Amino acid sequence: MELLRNLTLILLATTIVGHYSTRIGIPAVIGQLLVGVIIGPAMLGWISLTHVLESYAELGVIILMFIAGLESDLKLLKRYLKPSVLVALMGVLIPVIGTYLVGMLYNLGMVESLFISVIFAATSVSISVEVLKEMNALNSREGTTILGAAVVDDVLAVVILSVLVSTTGTAVGDSAAASGGLLLTTLEQIVYFAAIYFVVRWVAPYMAKIGDRLLIPMGQTLMAIILCFGMAYVAELVGLSDVVGAFFAGIAISQTSAKSTVDRHIEPIGYALFIPVFFVSIGLNMDFNGLGKQLGFIVVLTIVAVLTKLIGAGAGAKMAGFSLDSATAVGAGMVSRGEMALIIAQIGYTAKLMSPVRYSAIVAAIIVATLLAPFLLRVTMNRAHRGEIDRSKVRPVE
């Protein structure tokens, strides 16, 4: 009964707020995030983030990233691979340096400062994906670069986190054991990415053919979901985020004859239930209790988190040959931390890499940065689009 009540309230609120957000020109995802803040522990306290809601939210982000992969152009992803790597590298390096300095400024100690820098190095592209979809810009050069960079960024964040845990010898395990585990995890991840080629080339087309022959409704869609969940599960097993597996599963299905059928069937499944719950769940993590004394730390950390990602990822795009407006849009698309940062923060908290006193403040900074990200992306993408139109009107003097 509690689950039904919570789902009814979430879906009713997100439907109304999403409608009016879109009507006044605000990304619908912003309204959904704010719904979580308003009805959650931070304000009204009507709903708290239960284990069941967390499971729904996890399914939501997996389906969202599967849809992103399904609607992505593989040729464009290959074309913008170099810019994506540059954006990811600079988008990790600058935030790591910036947030580490903030930690040292507040006398947090080297290990805790390092861990906070890893938290804010991560990018959650799921919210950017939703904004890009609303703007029909998912397959633009900026959108494609953001998607590619997010995958590389995720791998880099996992590697840095693994190294940090292994070298500090925390509650996760002693340094020697963790170092051996790091080597094994790295090898497993290499094998995983190598296996993606075989999935795209042979496994996905074969599963699509099986789905077409099944004597049940939506056979191809069911096979696609099996591939999506399977690749997400294996990604988690090898130490990657499940969204990486879901994204590549979407790309694999996009190369088959089942693409249009699956796309038509999967969106209602995601957007009718799971995806709204995911966006609301981010807001449900916000809690204002005891944050008054750390307001200065939250403000400084949020500003640094936004600016370092914007500048770092934007600089990577500029180095790759993007115009200033386009590079800024790419940087804005990497600002959102969302579930990736929250997951890493939880890992560090469990491993005693950060103090309980700072944990709530860091979660607050993650959520505020995530709330700001869609606004930044919409503004910068509009500016980049206007710049392209203006440049196309310019004719050389003969």
Provide the sign of the torsion angle of the four alpha carbons 292, 298, 300, 306, taken in this order: negative
Give the whole-angstrom CA distance, residue 288 versus residue 384.
Answer: 36
> Whose structure tokens read 């400062």?
113
Stretch 292-311: mean pLDDT: 92
The pLDDT assigned to 93 comes to 93
Taking 80 as the threshold, does the pLDDT of residue 139 lie above it? yes
Whether residue 176 has pLDDT greater than 50? no
CA distance 332 to 131: 11
Of 154 and 42, more confident: 42
- The average pLDDT across 294-302 equals 91
Which helix or strand (DSSP H or E) is residue 170 part of? none
* Nearest-angstrom CA–CA distance, 108 and 106: 6
Q: What is the pLDDT of residue 172?
A: 39
Residue 196 has pLDDT above 70, yes or no: yes
With beta carbons less than 8 A apart as the criterion, state whether 62 and 244 touch: no
Side chain identity at residue 343, one-letter code: I
pLDDT at 165: 64
* Residue 355 identity (one-letter amino acid): S
**Closest by alpha carbon to 367, among 33, 69, 79, 21?**
33
Q: Is 110 left (phi over 0), alpha (psi -120 to 50) or beta?
A: alpha
Among residues 1, 61, 34, the alpha carbon closest in space to that of 243 is found at: 61
* H runs (alpha helix) in 285-355: 295-319, 324-333, 338-350
The pTM (predicted TM-score) of the whole model is: 0.78
Shortest CA distance to 27 belongs to which of 126, 125, 123, 135? 135
pLDDT at 144: 92
From first CA to last CA, the distance across the chain in angstroms is 74
| Predicted confidence (pLDDT) per residue in 360-373, tens digit | 788 888 888 888 88
Whether the CB-CB separation of 176 and 227 falls below 8 Å is answered with: no
Q: Check residues 337 and 4 and name the one with the higher pLDDT.
A: 4
The tokens for 3 are 């689950």
- Torsion sign over Cα 320, 326, 331, 336: negative
Write the CB contacts of 199 (distance below 8 Å, at least 6 apart in sequence): 227, 231, 248, 249, 252
The Cα–Cα gap between 46 and 36 comes to 10
Residue 84, pLDDT above cutoff 90:
yes
CB 308, CB 369: distance < 8 Å: no
33 versus 351: the higher-pLDDT residue is 33
Q: Which helix (H) or strand (E) holds 382?
A: helix 356-393
Q: What's the token pair of residue 387?
A: 């710049």
Q: Which two tokens stand for residue 255?
A: 């190369």
* Encoded tokens for 294: 């750390």
Residues present in the chain in total: 398
**Domains and their CATH numbers in the chain:** 1-394 (1.20.1530.20)
How many angstroms from the chain centroid is the CA of residue 254? 20
- CA 379 to chain centroid: 19
Residue 195's alpha-carbon distances to 192, 200, 241, in angstroms, are 5, 9, 16
Instruction: Report the alpha-carbon angle 374-340-4, nearest 5.
Output: 80
